[in-house]
Amino acid sequence: MDEREFELINIIGGDLGSNQRDLSRKMNLSLGMTNMLIRRLITKGYIRIKQLNKTKVEYLLTAEGFSEKMRKSVRYTMKTIDSFGLIRQSMVRLLRGLYAQGTRKFYVFGSSDLAALIEMAAHHEKWADAVVARIEDPLSAGKDGVLLFCREQAEAVMPAGVRVIHVVEELAKTDSII
């Protein structure tokens, strides 16, 4: 099952009463493409059509469709969990490198899950002489440490004289992620 089929099954499974026009709008596809996907899913046995009247039909997920949806969801969830592990390992490598260079203060800026992963990676190392602090304002980062910027866009004003590492850019450099 490809991504579009999976998306269509998710929409049909969660939104009873959608017609083809609604489905194509929700998926941002043409009516023809939506019709083709529906026919393919019917052929695979994942959905069936229930005729309500001459002009109105209802799309229903079959037991096979529900089962395939669950299998694909579990695989996606496991892949996501693995990705979090890879990101955490990359953060551990980054932090170990900074620690080896003498950095003992890590200022984490951002409220994302990425910031939480960095904190977990740092605490995993159990360095007695290192400090990891989550900060609300990058200007509050001390010049005696490294500012780990955990946002996709650098819209904030960066402090002068502080080493700043854009974590998303660092992750993008890592081959094993994404």
What digits encode the pLDDT tens for the residues 108-150? 998 788 898 898 888 888 889 999 999 988 888 888 899 999 8
CATH 1.10.10.10 in the chain: give the residue spans: 3-61
Query: Helix/strand/coil (H, E, C) string of 70-107?
Result: HHHHHHHHHHHHHHHHHHHHHHHHHHHHHHHCCCCEEE
Cα separation, 126 vs 132, whole angstroms: 11
Please tell me the class of the 3-61 domain: mainly alpha
SS3 50: strand
* Residues 49-102: tens digit of each pLDDT: 888 888 888 888 899 999 999 999 999 999 989 988 888 888 899 999 999 999
> Hey, which CATH number is domain 80-173, 2.30.110, 3.40.1010, 2.60.40, 3.40.710?
3.40.1010
For 51, phi and psi rounded to 5 degrees?
-80, 120
